Amino acid sequence: MLIKGQSDIEICISDGGYICLKQRQDEEGEQSITIAPAYAPKVAGAITALQEFAQRKFEKSLPVED
């Protein structure tokens, strides 16, 4: 499953039943995070709790120049 508007991030279920988040980055290759199903609600809750704070910080950050 791809996240709409975020084609470099894929979420899938591994053969062992783990939730896998994979992000492709040109320079670093593929990065992967694997989460046991039992921890999914805790991870989702933590992301939700940090979302507003992260958005404010993102909006305040300076643009990166190439």
What distance lies between CA 8 and its chain's CA centroid?
Answer: 10
pTM of the predicted model, to two decimals?
Answer: 0.65
Copy the structure tokens of residue 35. 């989460």
Give 66's pLDDT tier (boundaries 50, 70, 90). Answer: low
What's the pLDDT tens digit per position in 8-61? 889 999 999 999 999 888 777 889 999 999 999 999 999 999 998 888 898 888
- Dihedral through CA 34, CA 36, CA 41, CA 42, nearest 10? -80
Bridge partners (DSSP) of residue 30 are 24
Alpha-carbon distance of 48 to 66, in angstroms, equals 31
For residue 12, give Cα distances in angstroms to 16, 28, 43, 47, 54: 11, 20, 16, 18, 24
